Structure 1
Amino acid sequence: MTWSAENATKAYLRTLKLGNKPMEPDVAEFISALAAGSGARLMVEACSDGAGPTTLALIAAANQTGGRAVCIVHGPDELRSSVEFLGSEADNAELVVGDARKLLMGEYLGADFVLVDCEMREHERVFRAAQAGAVEGCGGVVVGYNAFCGRPCRSGRTKVEHLPIGGGMTVCRVPPQAKKSQWVVRVDEDTGEEHVFRITSPRRKWIEA
């Protein structure tokens, strides 16, 4: 992923204009700048409750990169509260009811920016699913917020940074998985001409217990 300081700055300023900041200062702005600066196109948030300032941050980033902002909530009550909170910005986000882990390994596999609320149940499994999805795609960034409220997210596969921003943040940059390739030579029996092909093997699937 290529970093864009211009996108980061514009998303940061747009988030400030959206206002409505019940969270600790700078959390939403940091998330928005990180997502936009990374050039993310599919941004997914897994919420413990309903949409909040972090959702607005992704909407601002998506507006800057021309991407999509998705917010996954648990049920219809959270969906209603999300629509109420977002107000006119609700049309700029895809509000989805469902299991965040399954959706990140299914419909949203390959999301290049995933935001996980560490106050949600099984947030560690959701975090790992987001990492796995990024590996299957072209890499990405996975962020856990409210990290001081639950067990910190860890991974033995990729480097994780713990930042003292707001209620604590965990940031993981996931590189795309390298494809293995080999050269194959085929000889045309009629002409004797050699043809050389480069074959790329499928990427190894990430299997979660």
Structure 2
Amino acid sequence: MKLVWSPETASKAYIDTVKLCELFEESGVAELVSAMAGGWNTKLIVEAWSRGGVTATSVGLAVASRHSGGRHVCIVPDEQSKSEYVEAMRKVGISPEIIVGGAEETMGRLSGVDFLVVDCQRRDFVRILRLAKLSNKGAVLICKNANPRTDLGFRWRGVLGNGSSIVKSVFLPVGKGLEIAHVAAAGSVGNLNSGKGTSRWIRHIDQQSGEEHVFRK
């Protein structure tokens, strides 16, 4: 069984997020991730939040979880971050589930993740990606604040290892940059350059940053 896209749910999540995020900066990121999480009908949405970060993305993910009937969990590094996050979310009337701790102690408690958003401003964001127990149906992984001019120190395949198959990955210049990867369902074989269908994916490696970008042609 694989993640199945629902345009109707994506649209509802997008519209509701627009209404709630009118006062936030970089609301475009929130609207995009909300539509994606809602559209894929994700059941376990995990977010790794960085203290001082914009909470619009959290609002979008919370909205998406309501439409998909899923669970939205936010990981924060310490109690001070938790207090700041809770207060920010309280202002918009949302109370997401929160887990406090580092990558090792938090990701081990979450199994079947099918939508994961990490903030590249967190020092442990690579470990969070590496330790995530992804769903057998496949998963969507997003790194926000991923400036392509900055060496992030990883490539998707290097972070996830040989056990995960990348269907496609792409960088989007939304907000401060989004790196997005779609991981195949268990038993599937990802193929970025498949010749099947009406379109194909072209991989490009940026010679300066070393980043991998994928475009549909």
Query: TM-score range with shorter-chain normalisation?
Result: 0.7 to 0.9
Corresponding position of 1:78: 81
Question: Mean alpha-carbon deviation: is it higher for 16-25 or for 60-69?
Answer: 16-25
Paired residues in the alignment total: 174
Corresponding position of 2:142: 143
Distance (Å, rounded) in 1 between the aligned partners of 2:137 and 2:114: 7
SS in structure 2 at match of 1:69: strand
Corresponding position of 1:12: 14
Matches within 5 A, 1:18-37: 18-19=20-21, 21-37=23-39
**Residue 10 of structure 1: how far off its partner (Å):** 0.3
**Where do 5+ consecutive residues of structure 1 fail to align?**
180-209
Distance (Å, rounded) in 1 between the aligned partners of 2:13 and 2:88: 20
CA RMSD of aligned residues (A): 2.1
Matches within 5 A, 1:123-162: 123-130=125-132, 133-134=133-134, 137-148=136-147, 151=152, 153-156=154-157, 157-158=165-166, 159-162=168-171
From 82, 85, 95, the equivalent of 2:98 is 95
Q: Report if aligned partners of 1:7, 1:64 keep a CA contact under 8 Å in 2.
A: yes
**1:20–1:120 Cα change, 3 Å:** farther
SS in structure 1 at match of 2:83: helix
Whichever residue aligns with residue 141 of structure 1, its letter is: V
Corresponding position of 1:204: none
**1:20–1:50 Cα change, 3 Å:** farther
**1:54–1:153 Cα change, 3 Å:** farther
Q: Report if aligned partners of 1:110, 1:139 keep a CA contact under 8 Å in 2.
A: no
**1:112–1:21 Cα change, 3 Å:** farther
**1:90-116: CA deviations, max 9, x gaps?**
43x101111234422x22122110000
SS in structure 2 at match of 1:49: coil
SS in structure 2 at match of 1:40: coil
Q: What's the % identity of the aligned pairs?
A: 36
Matches within 5 A, 1:39-54: 39-49=41-51, 52-54=55-57
**1:147-195: CA deviations, max 9, x gaps?**
016616522242421111110001111112219xxxxxxxxxxxxxxxx
Distance (Å, rounded) in 1 between the aligned partners of 2:171 and 2:122: 18
Corresponding position of 1:197: none
Q: Report if aligned partners of 1:4, 1:38 keep a CA contact under 8 Å in 2.
A: yes
**1:50–1:97 Cα change, 3 Å:** farther
**Residue 123 of structure 1: how far off its partner (Å):** 1.5
**1:39-58: CA deviations, max 9, x gaps?**
10110101121671111011
Q: Report if aligned partners of 1:48, 1:117 keep a CA contact under 8 Å in 2.
A: yes
**Where do 5+ consecutive residues of structure 2 fail to align?**
158-164, 189-217
Distance (Å, rounded) in 2 between the aligned partners of 1:50 and 1:70: 18
Distance (Å, rounded) in 2 between the aligned partners of 1:153 and 1:34: 23
Larger radius of gyration: 1
**1:151–1:37 Cα change, 3 Å:** same
Point out 4+ residue stretches in structure 1 off by more than 4 angstroms: none
Distance (Å, rounded) in 2 between the aligned partners of 1:48 and 1:33: 22
